[in-house]
Amino acid sequence: MRDLFAGLGLDAGRAPLAEPADPYAALGMGRAVFFDADHFGRDQWLAGDPFGELVDARTGRQGDAAPDAAALRRFLDAAPLPPQDRTALARLADGSTDYLAGMPAAERAAYLRSTRYASFLRDKAGIGLAGQRFLRSRSNDAFALDADGISVADAIGIGLPAGAGMPAPVPDPRLGKSPASRLWFPDGNASLARLLVQKLIPGVAKLARPTDIINAPFDYGRLDQDGAAVRLRLEATAIAVDPDGPITRVTYGWRGNLHRIEARHVVLAGWNMMVPYLMPSLPAAQRDTLRAEVKAPLIYTKVALDHWRAFAALKTRRIHAPAMAYTDLWLEPPAGSTPGDPAVLHMLYVPTVPDSGMSARERFRAGRALLLGTPFSELERGIRTQLDRMLGQGGFAAKDVIRAITVNRWAHGYSYRPDTLAGEDSAAWTSPAGVGNVSLAGSDSAGSPSLTAAIAQGRRAVDRLPG
């Protein structure tokens, strides 16, 4: 990462753009939790989110102190939860109870890797169904899995409480969304990709400094020119990769025709599950491994609002709805400084098949089928209904406030990570590196959807190519 960033004129230790201050926090707008009647007996809006604050404090995401016991107790007393769950959740958040007391260290470590967090909450922390539902979706953004789909170790890693005698949270930057992650550019990794292209084909954009890439015009006519040292051909889809001794033939479709090229070195960086279909000559064991790398489905929805008066009235900028379709939503920075100005709402939906006991692969396949089988009209209706239900007491009416909706639906989202609940060893897990003069790259090969993983795999792929 450091080498690559230095080559692009960036400092890997410092983001090129300062993160702007949160304008909503400056107005005293905090968090909230919405409990829905379908899962908690009644619809209830509750200001504050002490468990969210606790998770952030444990991972150092915001540098905030954990909520005090009195604030946590007030929140739980007002929540639509059974008394025994309130007591058990308060004890869990307190962190002074060792739920695995007397368990030898080696056995404890194995338990943390092989036990579902939901099972731990039920069997060790004594939390009932309603309390489990309250904590069910805290892992959605990081793993695209609910509390029944992650291990206790994974839960601890993202800051979820598990009592005393447990390892400290160690944020993993290679998760889908991690407390250790940071946004380098407003458009995510797109600007980094454009910087890479500009470095390889300098005439494609004129930059005085790397940050100019955000708005720099791109001359796409320069990407694929005869005689150039580097040629980048867009709209070209590979359909076959055939190694044959020192030469590999690559067949691809482009502008309605099939084309074939021959190469001494090939790096195949894409969705690993497709590789066996592109390269049927791979050994059977490699094909089986690649086919098993099932991606996680997820949806990021953006809702353009004419104004954010309801959020200001409710004094909230971020809402957690633990058992609804969209479990997390927050306001992006507004276009103006007053509640009457436009804003964009970010909403997260992960079809996790909660509380199913299924393996990660089974959940991802089932979630993907759900997404692919759900028309946009149904998704739109669900978004409007949920927002009206959650924000109605603040004066929100979807028919009057929503200007536009964009549903970014990834049936194949996060790369597959080794599932310790299924007995897969994350430390020993490796993806096929390739065969002959064809190397495999991409974040799938690292079992991580992160940029860091993708860059590391690119380096590995080139290093293994024969001279």
296 and 144 Cβ atoms separated by less than 8 Å = yes
The percent of residues in the chain predicted with pLDDT above 70, rounded, is 96
C-alpha 34/C-alpha 134 separation (Å) is: 10
Residues 6 or more apart from 342 whose CB is under 8 A from it?
Answer: 304, 305, 306, 307, 334, 335, 336, 403
In this predicted structure, the answer to whether residue 22 has a pLDDT above a threshold of 90 is no
In this predicted structure, the answer to whether residue 62 has a pLDDT above a threshold of 70 is no
Q: Is the model more confident about 84 or about 58?
A: 84
Mean pLDDT in the chain?
A: 91
Q: Is the model more confident about 467 or about 414?
A: 414
pLDDT at position 64, please?
58
Which of these CATH numbers, 1.20.140.10, 3.50.50.60, 3.40.50.1110, 3.40.50.300, describes 235-292+422-467? Answer: 3.50.50.60
Mean pLDDT of 239-248: 93
Strands (E), 161-295: 236-244, 247-254, 257-263, 266-269
Cβ burial, residue 117 (10 Å; 0-12/13-18/19+): buried
Fold for the domain defined by 296-414: Alpha-Beta Plaits (3.30.70)
For residue 48, count other CB atoms closer than 10 A to its CB. Answer: 18
pLDDT band at 170 (very low <50, low <70, confident <90, very high): confident
Torsion of CA 207, 210, 215, 219, to 10 degrees: 50
Residues 6 or more apart from 123 whose CB is under 8 A from it?
Answer: none
* 355 phi/psi in degrees, rounded to 5: 55, 30
pLDDT at position 450, please?
86
pLDDT at position 65, please?
65
pLDDT digits (tens, 9 = 90+) for 75-95: 999 999 999 999 999 999 999
pLDDT band at 68 (very low <50, low <70, confident <90, very high): confident
The percent of residues in the chain predicted with pLDDT above 90, rounded, is 71
pLDDT at position 2, please?
86
C-alpha 3/C-alpha 209 separation (Å) is: 18
> Domain boundaries in the chain?
183-216, 235-292+422-467, 296-414
Mean pLDDT of 210-236: 93
Written as six digits, the tokens of 45 are 């809006």
pLDDT digits (tens, 9 = 90+) for 404-440: 999 999 989 999 988 999 988 776 677 888 888 999 9
pLDDT at position 337, please?
84
Q: What is the pTM of this model?
A: 0.91
C-alpha 354/C-alpha 323 separation (Å) is: 9
pLDDT at position 181, please?
67
pLDDT at position 329, please?
96
pLDDT digits (tens, 9 = 90+) for 282-313: 999 999 999 988 999 999 999 999 999 999 99
Q: Report which of 29, 32, 146 is spatially closest to residue 78, judged by C-alpha positions.
A: 32
pLDDT digits (tens, 9 = 90+) for 322-367: 999 999 999 998 878 899 999 999 999 999 888 888 999 999 999 9
Ordered alpha helix ranges (H), 392-436: 398-401
In this predicted structure, the answer to whether residue 63 has a pLDDT above a threshold of 60 is no
